[in-house]
Amino acid sequence: MLVLGLNMFHADASAALVQDGEVVFAIAEERLNRVKHYGGIPALAVQACLNSVGATIADIDHVAVGRDSDAHLIKKAQYALLNPTKILNLIQIRKRREAMDDLRALLARPLQADPQRMRFHQHNVEHHIAHIASAFYCSGWEKAAGFSYDGSGDFVTTMLARCEGTDIEILERVFVPHSLGSFYTMICDFIGYRKYGDEGKVMGLAPYGTDAYYEQICDMMSPNGRTFKLNLAYFMPLGSTQGMQINEDGTVALARHYSPKMVGLFGQPREPSGEITQRDMDLAFAMQKRFEEIFFHLLDRLHRQVPCDDLAMAGGCALNSVANGKIFNQTPFRRTWIQPAAGDEGLAVGAALYAYHAILKQPRQYVLKDPYLGPEFSDARIRQALDSAALKYRRLEREPLLEQVADKIAAGQVVGWFQGRMEWGPRALGNRSILAHPGLPNMKDILNARIKRREWFRPFAPSILADRQDEYFEHAHPSPFMLHVYKIRPDKRRQLCAVNHVDDTGRLQSVTRQENPIYYELIQAFQRRTGVPALLNTSFNENEPIVCTPEDAIDCFCRTKMDVLAIGPFLAVKAEDP
Ligand SMILES: [Fe+2]
């Protein structure tokens, strides 16, 4: 049975293919059309899914969309009546709903397929149910507490659930406008981070601040019985989309989130090009602190209703790795399984698995063992791309390749590392990565000056051998998808100085041999030279979606000042280099 999962007409459009209950392929459209956070129809992603198993759209049995515009219609209508300027917004959502009704017609043109030959059944899965499904059904756990939170989706911002077997029982929903995601985005917007997806940057700024504004920030969001509420005086009325607009060309824009009350309290907002002041850092600090408090309040309530050790989690806010790293100290949960594509691209996987298990009543067997669900490329294709770019390269066996790359990283060089299938989700996890020495004090500046050009305050992250994690970090709970930030132990901070953030933390990736053998062996080879069982790992890109194809990687390599490119079995340098 083939089930195609889709996230469409929403930021981070994506497609995933589930074959007999196993996720065999998943990819966000942005990686293929190179438009960051693309929010239209994921036509290239669908085609890539089909190609991966040699199928056509006519072979698909079920299509599951991570969106149910019919959900909570009464709530939406009530909200629109209270906010008359947002009635237009509601009409647009209905139009999209009608377009989705004819999914065959929508897919036919970009796939050049005959809609008459498509025989799939369509399932619309509510946004947050798809998020929770994307975590729980991939976890392999028989039972867990399910949690999802983000800006909003299908008029809901937060969902608590009891997950058992193939059932996801919803315990609580928090509706628009009360949203942890909107709270975070509002303050990011005020301090000059106005693009969709900028929240992760501000998370890195927070530890530079103080709690000077903590009391004012607490007035913006507070616990409310089992859930929480926003003080709407600080927010613009955002409508049922919580201020997210998908443009005709599929790009995503955010409406202004902060109200004049914010300006009255804190002065003029920072322009994106303006200098970051202590005020901005202090706001970021208090925002992260309040976010965590409400998050732990919700998890505490969830644990009372579902008393177990295991938490399955997704939703855009589940990418807040700082909050995730504190779960074990601040809540009764002992294990987490967080979907690597916790943001909205993950809806494609969640909707497909929900259709398979909860709607079609198929039993569970699948466990997501690694995040490498994207495309891979043959050696011949890579060689062709290298030849076209006139790069100098050598083909090496695995062992010499690892030894030479480890030598170069140990000597302070910056290496583009392109191997195997592309990662699913926003993190580079050792298959589309730029790698460097984590223990050189100037490495952060080198990377920023030569390649990444990121804000000075953003930390780089380490990949560490999972069996050595406990020696270096204060928590041994694995973080295979780089979704937890832990304190680095005091005696190891010098060894990891390029990935040690200002508050002595690191957003680590725990690497096992089972998940990624070649990457594990590369870190081992580096360890033999330096004594450090970790590498600095940043995504293979330069202000663009992470590279997908060999051509994308070679283009990025040539545009930037990376030293070496290890791509498949080939080790390449630029033509002018010796
Ligand atoms: Fe979402």
pLDDT at 102: 85
Residue 523 has pLDDT above 80, yes or no: yes
pLDDT at 38: 97
pLDDT at 380: 98
pLDDT: is 352 or 87 the higher one? 352
477: left (phi over 0), alpha (psi -120 to 50) or beta: beta
Residue 546 has pLDDT above 80, yes or no: yes
Q: Cβ neighbours of residue 125 under 8 Å, at least 6 residues apart?
A: 64, 65, 66, 67, 68, 133, 350, 351, 354, 355
> For residue 194, how far is its CA from the centre of ligand 1 (angstroms)?
18
Please report which confidence band the pLDDT of residue 544 belongs to, taking 50, 70 and 90 as the band edges.
Answer: very high
Q: Determine the average pLDDT of the residues in 35-50.
A: 97
- pLDDT tens sequence across 291-336: 999 999 999 999 999 999 999 999 999 999 999 999 999 999 999 9
Residue 578 has pLDDT above 60, yes or no: no
- The residue among 528, 525, 522, 491 whose CA lies nearest residue 509 is 522
The residues that bridge with 5 in the sheet, in sequence order, are: 16, 64
What percent of the chain is predicted at pLDDT more than 70?
96
Q: How many CB atoms lie within 10 A of CB 299?
A: 21
Residue 333 and residue 296 in contact, taking contact as beta carbons nearer than 8 Å? no
Please, is 356 exposed, middle or buried when counting C-beta atoms within 10 Å of its C-beta (0-12, 13-18, 19+)?
buried
Residue 479 has pLDDT above 60, yes or no: yes
Please report which confidence band the pLDDT of residue 85 belongs to, taking 50, 70 and 90 as the band edges.
Answer: low
> For residue 344, how far is its CA from the centre of ligand 1 (angstroms)?
5
Residue 431 and residue 372 in contact, taking contact as beta carbons nearer than 8 Å? yes
Q: Determine the average pLDDT of the residues in 157-161.
A: 98
pLDDT at 36: 96
10 labelled catalytic: yes
> For residue 527, how far is its CA from the centre of ligand 1 (angstroms)?
39
pLDDT at 534: 98
Residue 68 has pLDDT above 90, yes or no: no
Residue 290 has pLDDT above 60, yes or no: yes
Tokens of 141: 């756990």
Residues with CB under 5 A from ligand 1 (ion): 150, 153, 344
- pLDDT tens sequence across 177-217: 999 999 999 999 999 999 999 999 999 999 999 999 999 99
Q: Cβ neighbours of residue 137 under 8 Å, at least 6 residues apart?
A: 350, 353, 354, 357, 364, 366
Please report which confidence band the pLDDT of residue 276 belongs to, taking 50, 70 and 90 as the band edges.
Answer: very high
pLDDT at 423: 98
Residue 158 has pLDDT above 60, yes or no: yes
> For residue 37, how far is its CA from the centre of ligand 1 (angstroms)?
13
**Which DSSP string do the residues of 185-250 spell out, in sequence order?**
HHHHHHTT--STTTHHHHHHHGGGS-STTHHHHHTTEEEETTEEEE-GGGB---TTTTTEEE-TTS
- Whether omega for the bond prior to residue 84 falls within 30 degrees of 0, making it cis, is no
pLDDT at 69: 81
> For residue 126, how far is its CA from the centre of ligand 1 (angstroms)?
10
pLDDT at 90: 61
> For residue 158, how far is its CA from the centre of ligand 1 (angstroms)?
9
Residue 96 has pLDDT above 70, yes or no: no
Please report which confidence band the pLDDT of residue 242 belongs to, taking 50, 70 and 90 as the band edges.
Answer: confident
Backbone φ and ψ for 443, nearest 5 degrees, come out as -65, -35
Tokens of 61: 């049995």
pLDDT at 100: 60
Please report which confidence band the pLDDT of residue 453 belongs to, taking 50, 70 and 90 as the band edges.
Answer: confident
> For residue 150, how far is its CA from the centre of ligand 1 (angstroms)?
5
> For residue 489, how far is its CA from the centre of ligand 1 (angstroms)?
34
Residue 77 has pLDDT above 80, yes or no: no
Q: Determine the average pLDDT of the residues in 4-21.
A: 97
This prediction's pTM: 0.95
The residue from 10, 37, 128, 501 that is catalytic is: 10
Alpha carbons 304 and 374: distance in angstroms, whole number: 38
Tokens of 425: 């989700």
> For residue 159, how far is its CA from the centre of ligand 1 (angstroms)?
11
Residue 526 has pLDDT above 90, yes or no: yes
- pLDDT tens sequence across 481-521: 999 999 999 999 999 999 999 999 999 999 999 999 999 99
Distance of CA 121 to the CA centre of its chain: 29
pLDDT at 129: 98
> For residue 152, how far is its CA from the centre of ligand 1 (angstroms)?
6
Alpha carbons 42 and 13: distance in angstroms, whole number: 6
Average pLDDT along the chain? 95
Alpha carbons 258 and 261: distance in angstroms, whole number: 8
Q: Cβ neighbours of residue 411 under 8 Å, at least 6 residues apart?
A: none
Q: How many CB atoms lie within 10 A of CB 36?
A: 20
